[in-house]
Amino acid sequence: MRRRLPLVAATAAVLLTSLLPGPAPALAAEPSEPGLVTTVVRDARTGAPVPGVTVHAIAAEDRFADLWGARAGSDAAGVATFDGLEPGRYSFFVQPGDTAYGMQWLGAYGGTGDRDAALEVTAPATGVLTLPDVRLDAAGTVTGTLTEAATGTPVAAQVSVASMDPLWQDTTPNVYGTGRYTFTGLGPYGWKLFFMPDGTAGPTARVAAQWSGGATDRRRAHPIRVVAGQTTTADQRLRAGTVVSGSAVGGTPGQPVLGPVYAFHAGTHEIMAVSDTPDSLRYAVRLLPGQRVKLCLGRTWCYPGGADLDHAAAIPIGRRPMVVDF
């Protein structure tokens, strides 16, 4: 099943915010066609337009890079246009059709492997918002081993360019590794990669999810430097983490809420574990200690009290097993 981001007329004003220092490139907004966002995809070295490249608009509030949402392909002139994005702020992920080029988040001054450094804009209600050109760089590769930190035993994991929902694996660019992984087609930037163990960090997992370098938080992850035309080695030693378990039934009496239990990082709201066990009415997840999480049923009903994700209380994860009942 593929989820799509509805394309409706935006009501927000045109706004550009650059996370990088210095003056941002000029953006042109013209009162011609309603609600258009456009860019031109070019070869970074030659400046020639590149057709057949997919540009994805990722809503800022998305917990993971959902690539079945709004997207536009570059035409023969390299032009990619979004027509009537839903109101909200967006960053843009670029997937070249030619394997010679690397993936990237669109930055104000070129590509980046860090979502936090990506350009972020608000879709216009009317007119045309022209983004900086997408400049495609040659691709590089990251490879390495995946082992348990305590024993050195090989483990299996999904490796992705952003926090991913393991129940929707095809929506975020990722590769699967068993004891070893190889991620090709990455642009030559510093990439913060996410490692989600087999079993979605749920009851069957042997280790907990982590960001590159063993971080619990994307903002503290160690960027892996990719070099065009070369292979970078980045081994990952995954820790067992702390088991958090409990009852997986929430809601009001007579109207129970059942479904996967998601553990969201309290600071970024990114997925750190999923326990897909609705039939047993119990859940269990593995989480690295030292982080705070929000536990939610189906992403809408969170412990405690049934609040939504934005208003749910954060639970600190220590080194001892925890029981948290909904």
Burial label for 76, CB within 10 Å (0-12, 13-18, 19+), is exposed
Looking at residue 68, what is its pLDDT?
65
Tell me if residue 225 falls in helix, strand or coil.
strand
Euclidean distance between CA atoms 212 and 238, whole angstroms: 10
Looking at residue 3, what is its pLDDT?
36
Per the DSSP assignment, residues forming a β-bridge with 250 are: 257
Euclidean distance between CA atoms 273 and 277, whole angstroms: 13
Give percent above pLDDT 90 in the chain.
58
DSSP 238-249: E---EEEEEE--
Looking at residue 154, what is its pLDDT?
97
Degrees to nearest 5, angle at CA 27 with 21 and 33 = 155
Tell me if residue 168 falls in helix, strand or coil.
helix
Per-residue pLDDT reduced to its tens digit, 114-156: 999 999 999 888 888 999 999 999 999 999 999 999 999 999 9
- In the chain, % helix, strand, coil (3-state, to 5) comes to 5, 45, 55
**pTM of the full predicted structure?**
0.84
Name residues of the chain where pLDDT drops below 50.
1-33
Averaged pLDDT score across all residues of the chain: 84
Judge whether 66 and 162 are in contact, CB under 8 Å. Answer: no
Q: In sequence order, what are the residues at sequence separation of 6 or more whose Cβ sits closer than 8 angstroms to the Cβ of residue 135?
A: 42, 43, 44, 110, 111
Reading the block at residue 103, the tokens are: 């993936």
Looking at residue 64, what is its pLDDT?
65
Burial label for 212, CB within 10 Å (0-12, 13-18, 19+), is buried
Looking at residue 33, what is its pLDDT?
46
Write b or e for each residue in 101-137: b if 16 or more Cβ atoms lie within 10 A of its Cβ, otherwise e: bbbbbbbbebbbbbbebbbbbbbbebbbbbbbbbbbb
Looking at residue 252, what is its pLDDT?
62
Closest residue by Cα to residue 191 from 213, 167, 206: 213
Looking at residue 306, what is its pLDDT?
75
